[in-house]
Structure 1
Amino acid sequence: MTQAAPLHQNNGIHETQLTSENTLLQKIQPRVKFLTFNTWGLKFVSKHRKERLRAIADKLSGSKVGTPIEELNVLNTNENGEQDDEESIDDYDIVALQEIWCKEDWDYINLRCKERFPYTRIFYSGIITGPGLAILSKIPIESTFLYRFPINGRPSAFFRGDWYVGKSIAVTLLKPLTKDTYPIAIMNSHMHAPYAMTGDAAYECHRSCQAWDFSKLANLYRKANYAVVIVGDLNSRPGSLPHKFLTAETGLVDSWLQLHGKQDIVQISKMNAVDQLKIGCTTCDSQLNTWRAQRQPDEAKRLDYALIDPTKLNTINAGARFTERLDNIGSFSDHFAYTCTLELLPRKTGESENLDEDDTQPRKLLLERFASYEEMLRCINKYMITAKKQKLFRGIHFILSVLCIIACLVVTTFTSNKAAWSSIFWVLFATVVSVTGLIDGMISFFFGRSEIRALWEVEQEVQDAERYMQMVLDKQK
């Protein structure tokens, strides 16, 4: 047998064939190379935004951009441990981007990359701006769909912006590569960010609810026989409740862990920054990133993922990318990118989807899922107290504002005859009270009620799943 020879050098689909002395051809399964990247594209906030995103576009289009960090050259290796050539290192088949929030940035990316990626899509739905999600693909896109999370922060946290951008799941369905492979469903997302480790600002309940909805949507596409790939900045550490929902509930596996096995994140947090990136793929808050160099070593974490269906996909290679630095600017983004090469497993002849997978899962996994349901219910109940307080206090503020405005009108009547200038003061005061009271009243009566009812809905769904899981566990006794 001779060495494998590439069949598709230009289209990026890594299909190879083996030839024997008798020129008998044996096909190897096609491979697809993914990249997911949080580009940090906030207008007026992200430093050197335009220059960085243009450099990202240039690099994706095939140009050599950035100065490599010598210690990280080992990241640019293939599945055989050999150093990749410069052209293949950044030659991707599918690129999922997050935080593309400025139209001029997307226009440049689209224009610069259209020859390499003829199929593109950016998603627009949102209040002030879109969710910042975009896809670049060499494989034809059959259809797209956007699912907006019903639980996604609060409008009062305008300085954070998650509620206003409309955090979502961008679903992109791709044409099957061959008649023997499954069609791919890419589910790209940027979930609600944590602004603290604990407490209300951690938004743990919001991300957990988003992951719960995410798992339901992923299961629908799995049962429809798609090779599901969840990619993006999920803002959730490995082993967290959202991560459990996205893996245990869906049957998907973390591509990095599929390749390297289970990892101890505590042990990784004690390593130096280079080893953290090599061994733990810490794409966020790494000291090697110039925008996060002031962080402590134990703050480095892996938040960027590709979660895959192991019955239809197999991870061949994975690692961090865009670790180079731009002259006079720094890192490409406040995150490093994550890439993985996936082998598409062949369709099974005469296969029938088992819609009752719970009955065939190991009891240990079922117990872990049951424990996740219990944890989720505790999480919802804890946050429900905060949500009800927010609704109550803002409602009280609205009522007090109405009483205050009435009082201002009465006081103005008595003081205007004695000091005419005082009328201006009371009018301005009443205006401020009116505006702030009205805003809080609308948040309380409209958003507060909506959020609480959405939390009730998730709670009922989890309780339904918990009751069913209890029944399955009882049957296994």
Structure 2
Amino acid sequence: MMAAEANRPPSHLRILSLNCWGLKFISKLRNERLTEIGVQIAAANPQPDIVGLQECWTQQDYNAIRDKTRHILPYGKFYHSGIFGGGLVILSRWPIEESNMVRYPLNGRPAAFYRGDWFVGKGVACARIRMGPSQRDIAEVFCTHLHAPYESEPHDSYLCHRTAQAWEITKLMRAASERGHLVIGLGDFNMVPLSLAHRIIETHSPVRDVWRILHPESSIGAAKDKVEQLRGVPMPTAQFNMTTNGATCDSEFNSWRWNEAHKKRLAKGENVQIDPAVADPNAKRLDYIFFSSGRFHHAQTGEETAEWELKEANVGMAMRHPTLHCSLSDHFSVEATLTRTSTLPSAIQLSPWALPERYLPIEIYDEILANTSKYQARERVQRKLRIGHFFFQFSVWTGCLIGVWWSPHNYVSFILMLLSSLGLSVGVVDGLMGLLFIGSEIRALKEFEWEVRTTRERALASGEKASAKADSMPYESER
């Protein structure tokens, strides 16, 4: 049965992406919630064909979800990365022919251990999925979780990292599109629509944000944010945010974002219900599905045809746990249905097609380069301070060793050695960060800076060509 199904190309494709909030020892009710997530994915109608999960950190949670979904999604991959794992999972109805985990060169700082982004080894989980026997039946899936924002843009100290990460996944999706395959990018991108990272993805690759295809006037931030207030739209309700704005995070419907009064009622076992008409100032969209259809051309006419089209998109997984009455995650899922073109030409062949070059405004590249330069200057100062701290602690430790000889009491000697040894340990860690990590980070930033600068030069050249062509048109019309 599986072989027969694998040889039958699909006419439609259902995609689901969800941040599971599965942080070990930190996320509350983790085992119960993630098991129920598996139950609800299996019970979904329509059934998903490809699922991307984020923050599924442990093999135990992955296995719990796999046990519940194996009958509809028999193929799956848990991606290993970093010290604590990447938290990324791809499940599929069809075989995963190839997979790899592409680590982001820039991903936080080890000194920010309380945030953990560097330690989890964030990157892109890549899977090549075979949906049928021909070359037309290949989907390339890219599941990711970008660096979290800890301040609002443009004051976010990790904006440079998230921008570089968006640039990296964009290159992967663009390359897949040039191979003529269906491209699906999904995950928690930790960005709002039309932010810098969002514009990079949609400009430098042919993928489109499925939600903005259907809802081009949807929100570009939380209602409380200045960017939304400038648009002059009325305060959205929780229902409107879910159905029209596509908000997947910080919704009034989500129990993990409730006020203390609601949380106390929930803790007592009460199944608290939220009025759909309640004002929802904090909800925003951080979870996305991007897609780009494979392209084919008629062997005789040369006409190009898109293989897949978007049918619908929605926010899902908003149900509660049946006994705990809490939301299944601190995010809701984003889901989409693609349909296959039913009237493809009779004579078609796979077309590795050249993508038209598209560029952001020149001032955006200047902004990226300015942010990168500013961040590099900050890191160079940090490098000097950390290396200086090591030599300072080494000097203190050496001084204490000498001072022990003149110490009048043994307990004084012990205190001197203990404190100086602890200080030296901290200094050694700081020195290693300065010498090894920050050096590596600066080199990765230089690579990113070179790519942006080169793209800026191509954008300038393209603009000059367009301007020269426009100037020549009156002359041509006179002739």
TM-score exceeds 0.5: yes
SS at match of 1:105: helix
Alignment-mate amino acid for residue 330 of structure 2? D
| 1:94 matches 2:50 | yes
Measured in 2, the distance between the counterparts of 1:216 and 1:58 equals 35
Query: Structure 1 residues 150, 169: CA separation in 2 closer, same or farther (over 3 Å shift)?
Result: same
Q: Which of 364, 367, 376 in structure 1 is aligned with 2:368?
A: 376
Contact 2:180 / 2:353 at 8 angstroms: preserved in 1?
Answer: no
The equivalent position to 2:151 in structure 1, one of 182, 185, 196, is 196
- What is the DSSP-based 3-state SS (H/G/I as helix, E as strand, rest coil) of the residue aligned with 1:163? coil
Residue of structure 1 equivalent to 2:67: 111
Q: Report if the CA contact (8 A) 1:13-1:93 is conserved.
A: no
The 2-side partners of 1:200 and 1:441 are apart by 27
- Equivalent position of 1:82 in the other structure: none
8 Å CA contact retained: 2:202, 2:208: yes
Cα deviation 1:324-357 (Å, max 9, x = unaligned): 1123341000000110001234588356444362
**Residue equivalent to 2:422:** 432
Q: More displaced, 163-172 or 175-184?
A: 175-184
Aligned match of 1:390 in 367, 382, 393? Answer: 382
1:235-261: CA deviations, max 9, x gaps?
111111111111111021101111222
Question: Does residue 340 of structure 1 match 2:348?
Answer: no
Deviation at 1:12, TM superposition (A): 12
1:207-356 superposed matches below 5 A? 207-265=162-220, 266=228, 270-294=235-259, 297-310=280-293, 311-326=306-321, 327-345=323-341, 346=344, 349-350=348-349, 352-355=351-354
C-alpha distance in 1, partners of 2:152/2:442? 23
Aligned to 1:171: 126
**Structure 1: runs of 5+ lacking an equivalent:** 1-7, 16-28, 63-86
**Aligned partner of residue 204 in structure 2, secondary structure:** coil
Distance in 1 (alpha carbons) for counterparts of 2:235 and 2:426: 47
Runs of 4+ in 1 over 2 A off after TM superposition: 10-15, 176-182, 198-202, 260-265, 267-270, 293-299, 310-313, 344-356, 368-372
8 A Cα contact 2:206 2:355, kept in partner: no
In the aligned structure 1, how far is the partner of 2:283 from the partner of 2:451? Answer: 34
Amino acid across the alignment from 1:338:
V
- What are the Cα deviations for residues 123-159 of structure 1, in whole angstroms up to 9, with x where unaligned? 01212x2101011111221111110001000011111
Paired residues for 1:377-456 under 5 Å: 377-415=369-407, 418-456=408-446
Q: Does 2:450 align with 1:472?
A: no
Contact 1:194 1:201 in 2 (8 A): yes
How far is the alpha carbon of 1:371 from its aligned partner? 3.6
Aligned equivalent of 2:27 = 46
Q: Paired residue for 2:42?
A: 61
CA RMSD across the alignment? 2.5
Q: Which moved more, 1:98-107 or 1:437-446?
A: 98-107
Amino acid at match of 1:411: G
SS in 2 for 1:229: strand
- Residues 248 and 287 of structure 2 are in contact (CA less than 8 Å); yes or no, is this contact kept in structure 1? yes
Residues 203, 270 of structure 1: alpha-carbon distance in 2 compared, 3 angstrom cutoff: farther
**Which residue in the other structure is 1:162 paired with?**
117
Q: Which residue of 2 aligns with 1:24?
A: none
**CA separation in 2, counterparts of 1:470 and 1:356?**
18
Distance 2:249 2:361 in 1: 28
Whether contact under 8 Å (2:180, 2:350) holds in the other structure is no
Aligned residue in 1 for 2:13: 32
Q: Which amino acid aligns with 1:204?
A: L
* TM-score after normalising by structure 2: 0.83
Aligned-partner SS, 2:385: helix
Q: Does the 8 Å contact 2:19/2:188 carry over to 1?
A: yes
Aligned residue in 2 for 1:80: none
* C-alpha distance in structure 1 between counterparts of 2:40 and 2:131, whole Å: 27
Task: Indicate the percent of aligned positions where both proteins have the same amino acid.
Answer: 31
Structure 2 letter corresponding to 1:218: M
